[in-house]
Structure 1
Amino acid sequence: MATSRRRGRAAGPSRSFSERALDYAGSAKNLAGCVAAAGGLGLFFVGVVGVPEWPFVVGALYAIGALVAPPPRRPTGALPPPRDPQTLRADLTAHDRRFLGQLPPDVDAAYRKVTQDLRDLLDRPALLQTGSPDTFVVERMVVDYLPTSVEAYLELPRAFADSHLVDGRLTARELLLEQLTLLATAAEDVTTSAARDASQRLAVQSRFLAERFGPTSGDLNLGDS
């Protein structure tokens, strides 16, 4: 069945000629063309360009100015929404299916330490406040930092990864162990930070209840007749 639009092109709202003209009037291309055309008029007024030629010169300079001006920037796409804890746990499970069984024992243990620390956090979603720096770090660790490190290691032949120094310092295997240690430390730091915030809320509630119902409070006199 024939259609009036080419495949693969999304239909957008049609815009009137006047709307498109107003957009162009305020564009960088029109501004550059006007500046160049004004220069052509200047050449006419000082006598460099004669009477028969000046309209063509002005028009040509406007076209050149509009042509060399940069096009308007297209708006960038919106950032993806943050992932919820359930989605992040599914991401970790997908990482396990890809990576476990391919890592040497010491790297496998370090990898499992990171993922267990992250799962412990994701099991308590109340600790991860929406939009907080801690929540952002956990998400980036799951979707970017952890898989990127492991994937880079697994791309290498095992003998090369275990014997060749990278930048004359460590082997690829040692570098991965170093990175996994850093990620585990970061996960522990996030846990401590998030738990500290929750502990502070508990302490505030404790002080409130002590002031409200403690023995020194004068608000309750239940024993008085």
Structure 2
Amino acid sequence: MQPLTFKMRALLFLYSTQNLLGCCLALLGLGMFFTGIIADWWFPIVAALYAVAWLAIPADKELELQLQSESSQSSLTDSVDALIRESKSRLPHEAVDGLHRIQSILQDLAPKIFSGEVAMNYVSLLINAVNRDLPQTIKNYLHLPTAFATMHVIENGKTCKQLLLEQLHLLETQLGKIATDIYKNDADSLVINGEFLKEKFHTVSFIQ
């Protein structure tokens, strides 16, 4: 089990219910100080209000444990490898091709996801997509007899095979959008760094 990075732990703390409520109560205490309701001992009172929220709400260890148990590059990509290996013989070849494309996206993203450089919401979306949404989609399809899934129309004139391909395409599209957002942030950082270097090493001429 790979330990969470410092940045990941910091984000978990900042977005925790304990911290958010604690900040609200602390701001309430500051508001009472600035409006003259309290004067002496204002700092201990503000700190105590924050502590009340921290102690009153149990720590959300479930999310941290989930992320920690799943937060490794190998676990993310290996789960898709296993899914393809175990299901490809019963899936349409188009679906297998879609799974390979999803696998390729994840292989490129995995090193960045667990480096601590990616926003927590992206990490959560990717982990849920790989460990929950994708397996459940495949599982639902594999419960059906092949002939029924291929030939029987069940919704909006579409067969189960067509619905499966649509759902896989939706997952692939969403993962692609997440990847684009992450890479765009990197590209923006590169542009900003380039501008900084130009400014830093710009040669100033004193000769007119």
Check if 1:146 corresponds to 2:134: yes
Aligned to 1:175: 163
Larger Cα Rg: Structure 1 or Structure 2?
A: 1
Query: 1-side partners of 2:115 and 2:179: how far apart?
Result: 8
Gaps of 5+ in 1: 1-74, 219-225
Aligned to 2:34: none
Check if 1:81 corresponds to 2:66: yes
1:82-121 to 2 correspondence within 5 Å? 82=67, 83-121=71-109
Gaps of 5+ in 2: 1-58
Kindly tell me the number of residue pairs found equivalent between the two proteins. 145
Structure 1 residue 206 displacement after superposition: 1.1
Aligned to 1:196: 184
Amino acid at match of 1:85: Q
Amino acid at match of 2:139: E
Query: 2-side partners of 1:104 and 1:202: how far apart?
Result: 41
Amino acid at match of 2:102: V
Check if 1:187 corresponds to 2:172: no
Structure 1 residue 184 displacement after superposition: 1.1
Check if 1:122 corresponds to 2:122: no
Query: 2-side partners of 1:114 and 1:207: how far apart?
Result: 35
CA contact (8 A) 2:80 2:103 kept: yes
Aligned to 1:136: 124
Aligned to 1:14: none
Q: After superposing the two structures, state which structure 1 stretch, 75-84 or 186-195, moved more.
A: 75-84
Identity %: 26
Check if 1:155 corresponds to 2:143: yes
Q: Identify the structure with the greater helix proportion.
A: 2
Structure 1 residue 149 displacement after superposition: 0.6
Give the 3 Å change call, closer, same or farther, for CA 108–156 of structure 1 in structure 2: same
Q: Deviations over 1:28-78 (max 9, x none)?
A: xxxxxxxxxxxxxxxxxxxxxxxxxxxxxxxxxxxxxxxxxxxxxxx9972
RMSD between aligned residues:
2.7
Aligned to 1:166: 154
TM-score by length of 1: 0.57
Give the 3 Å change call, closer, same or farther, for CA 130–190 of structure 1 in structure 2: closer
Amino acid at match of 1:106: E
**Following TM superposition, where does structure 1 have runs of at least 4 consecutive aligned residues deviating by more than 3 angstroms?**
123-131
Whose relative contact order is higher, 1 or 2, with alpha carbons under 8 Å and at least 6 apart? 2
Q: Secondary structure of the residue that 2:62 maps to in structure 1?
A: coil
TM-score by length of 2: 0.61
1:35-50 to 2 correspondence within 5 Å? none
Give the 3 Å change call, closer, same or farther, for CA 176–217 of structure 1 in structure 2: farther
